[in-house]
Structure formats: structure tokens, C-alpha cells
Amino acid sequence: EHEGEGGEEYLFKIVLIGDSAVGKSNLLSRFARNEFDSNSKATIGVEFQTQVVDIDGKEIKAQIWDTAGQERFRAVTSAYYRGAVGVLIVYDITRRTSFDSVKRWLDELTTHCDTTVARMLVGNKYDLENIREVSAEEGKSLAEEEGLFFMETSALDCTNVQTAFEVVIREIYNNLS
């Protein structure tokens, strides 16, 4: 186990946002517990899950917050965003409307967080590529416009899930120094 000279503890709050049913809860359960739920309903009771990640020999606790379904009512509160240093903005590549909502989510993020928050745009459900409505190029160019990292993921078959979270965690870590 490697610790910094002062035995620093790193705890990063990361929030998941995006329209209902894009796969936020499943991305988190895939990342934190390697589980997938094909009939997941709104998360009840669990506010966040903590996952320990090793970055350059430093032990980092990523505290990842999931909504309890309140995004359906556009009622994600400021408490949810408070103290966040990273965010994954998720859309569903098979549902154009969820991609159109990304701008609104970015506006909300700007209202609640400062500009230094590490931001990743995630196009989820890559396993359903055959019925996609949003091309990878569109995702990539929106990300470039807005200065976000970008990745397509599948919580179902694990594609890029670990990587998406780790890129954000590494960016937060790099921004510390």
C-alpha cells in the first residue's frame, strides 16, 4: 500500500446526471459491484457508492452519486451537486432525445458547480449499436465544443465503464497539483 508522505486521503465526489433510463444506475452498479440489472427501476435509498481506485500508487476513494429517479421531474437538487469535483453526463445512443438534453444538463451543471469540475460525456448502450440514433461523431463533436471528455460505454457488456470513471478520477487527481 502506497500513501503520500503526509498519508493524504483522497475522496472525490463524482455525480451522474442525464435523462431517466439512459443507464446511470447500471453504469454505477457495473463499476462498483460488477452487476447489471435488466429491469432496474429508480434507485431507492442508495445515495452513493464508494469505490477505491489506484492512481499512480495513490489510493483514491471515488464517492459516486446516483440520482433516485428525481431527474424524471427535473428536480435534481443543489445538494446533489454540492462538493462534486467530477461528473459523468450520460445519454443513450439509441435515444436522440436523451442526447438533445445534454445541453440542458450542462446548463444545470454550470449553475451548481464551478468550471473546474472534471466532465465526461458518456454515450451509453453501445451494445445496441445496431439501433443507434446518435453517431459517435456527434457525441465527439459536442464533447469537443463543450470541452468534455467523451466515451461510448455499455453497462450491459462492460465496454469502457471502468475507463470512463477512471479518466474522470485521473483528471481530478491531475488538477490537484
Tell me how far apart the alpha carbons of residues 166 and 52 are, in angstroms, rounded to a whole number. Answer: 11
For the bound state, the minimum distance from the C-beta of residue 5 to Mg ion, rounded and expressed in Å, comes to 40
Of residues 112-131, which lie at the interface with ligand GDP (CB under 6 A)? Answer: 124-125, 127-128
Between CA 127 and CA 132 the distance in angstroms is 9
Examine residue 25 and tell whether it contacts Mg ion (CB under 5 A).
Answer: yes
8 A C-beta contact, residue 88 and residue 167: no
Site string for Mg ion, 41-70 (x = CB under 5 A): --x---------------------------
Binding to ligand GDP (CB under 6 A) within 132-171 occurs at 154-156
> Could you tell which of Mg ion, ligand GDP, none binds residue 98, using a CB distance below 5 to 8 A set by kind?
none
* Segment contacting ligand GDP by CB under 6 A, of 38-46, 50-58, 141-149, 165-173: 38-46
CB under 6 A: which stretch of 6-14, 37-45, 76-84, 111-119 binds ligand GDP? Answer: 37-45
Cell of 121: 460525456
How far apart are alpha carbons 38 and 70 in whole angstroms? 20
Q: How far apart are CA 67 and CA 89, in angstroms?
A: 12
First and final C-alpha spacing in the chain: 21
Retrieve residue 30's grid coordinates: 457495473
User: How far is Cα of residue 150 from the mean position of the Cα atoms in its chain?
Assistant: 11
Q: Which amino acid is at 121?
A: L
Choosing from 12, 15, 17, 26, the residue that interacts with ligand GDP (CB under 6 A) is 26
The minimum distance between CB 46 and ligand GDP, in angstroms, equals 11
By rule CB under 6 A, what count of residues binds ligand GDP?
A: 18
Please, which residue, 43 or 49, has the CB nearer to Mg ion?
43
Residue pair 23/65 in contact by the 8 Å Cβ criterion: no
Residues of the shown chain interacting with Mg ion in the complex, contacts defined by CB under 5 A: 24-25, 43
Residues of the shown chain interacting with ligand GDP in the complex, contacts defined by CB under 6 A: 20-26, 37-40, 124-125, 127-128, 154-156
